[in-house]
Amino acid sequence: MEEPSVVQQTCNLNSPRHIIFEKYEMGRLLGQGTFAKVYYGKNLITNEGVAIKVINKDNVKKEGLIEQIKREISVMRLVRHPNVVELKEVMATKAKIFFVMEYVKGGELFAKVAKGKLKEDLARKYFQQLVSAIDFCHSRGVSHRDLKPENLLLDDNEDLKVSDFGLSALPEQLWNDGLLHTQCGTPAYVAPEVLRKKGYDGAKADIWSCGVILFVLLAGYLPFQADNLMKMYRKVFKAEFEFPQWFSTDAKQLISQLLVSDPAKRISIPEIMQNPWFQKGFVKPIPLSIQEPVGDQNDEKDEKSMSPRFYNAFELISSMSSGFDLSSLFECKKKSGSMFTSKCSASAIVTRLQAVASRLNFSVTSVKDFKVKMEGKMDGRKGKLAVTAEVFEVAPEVAVVELSKSAGDTLEYKKLCEEEVRPALKDIVWSWQGESNCHQL
């Protein structure tokens, strides 16, 4: 069975060029894990290099990892920071999920440390960037839970980028005691409270891991070493380690406050940032905005020259496919609405929506950024019914239109959609959400 037409040569990796969604060219394999492969890619519009992680949906379902994938997407949308690998977009076909991420070509920090200890100033720079990134993650309610040099990448400017949020945790994973209870992470970097299986604060556990990483950067080896795992765990539980002689007094003091077995007595991130050793040459990075704000009604941009917001193909396919619904990750809240695809241009769809509004005796209150807002002239059970229709671009010849109720009675809205709107738009609709032919996109 062929993949959807928005994907060309997506999975035929033996063809000369591998173009996905008419937007990215897939190149060499960068690495692979149990459930995913990562390829180098190029944005055909901007020529920007990207990393594309390809995940097989069947494998994810079979192994029960749907929630983990959803969480990773949700987390990466939350933590846009200069020192975190950026998730640019997520797309999907019926068989595969594509994470398009920032390409960080400098490789893992682990490769640099494997050659030996770093100079103190360089170690401090990486530690500052790590703590800044984790501080931002924590401010968004995200705990990484698998911090280690292998998950820290370096870009062209030798700046650090935190990656791999597959084991990260969000506030909704907390138990009634306000703690996390899932054991995860890499043994040499895991906090003692995680190993004890009694619940832990994910943020404090991340701080312990940061302490282990700082020790490794300065020493070139791990602080807790033993000839078997159980002996190593005993050392971790007791925070039993020794400093090399070349560590500075200030560095020793900070690490001694980071690697404290009792999380209640462990230093906090604000305290780390006030530490004299940490403060040296520190410039706090500015977090990236999650989404550009929409202008007000007086925005003087030439709307005719603008394009509709790109509607991520992942949103379309996942929201229209049963059994793997990830649409909640792309909405602030659930709306009462319906959705259809069309092969008409965005401007043609907007013109048609305005005509339909007039025919239904609705007033068009706003037309902006390919979003049409309309309101009924008569009061219903809950006041005037207000409807918003927004047009999104999927591909050059495919658009998605999302209708939602802004105000009024839900039953009246549903009746309007079924009895009036659908028949009025039938000649421009390719498929409605939930209908069997929608998978032929």
* Binding-site annotation, residues for ATP: 53
* 89, 312 Cβ separation under 8 angstroms: yes
Question: CA-to-CA distance for 247 and 336, rounded, in angstroms?
Answer: 60
Grouping H, G, I as helix, E, B as strand and the rest as coil, residue 438 is: helix
146 classed as catalytic: yes
DSSP state of 280: T
Q: Find the largest Cα–Cα distance for the chain.
A: 83
* 310, 291 Cβ separation under 8 angstroms: no
Residue of 89, 92, 8 lying closest to 58 (CA atoms): 92
Question: CA-to-CA distance for 370 and 5, rounded, in angstroms?
Answer: 24
Listing DSSP states for 339-393 in one string gives EEEESS-HHHHHHHHHHHHHHTTEEEEEEETTEEEEEEEEEEBTEEEEEEEEEEE
Q: Which of 58, 121, 135, 146 is catalytic?
A: 146
Neighbours of 110 (CB within 10 A): 14
Strand residue runs (E) in 328-370: 337-342, 362-368
* 138, 206 Cβ separation under 8 angstroms: yes
Find where tokens 């929201």 sit.
319
Question: CA-to-CA distance for 219 and 221, rounded, in angstroms?
Answer: 5
> What are the Cα distances from residue 31, in Å, to 39, 53, 345?
7, 9, 39
For the chain, first and last CA: distance in Å? 13
Residue of 87, 97, 67, 268 lying closest to 182 (CA atoms): 67
What positions carry a catalytic annotation? 146
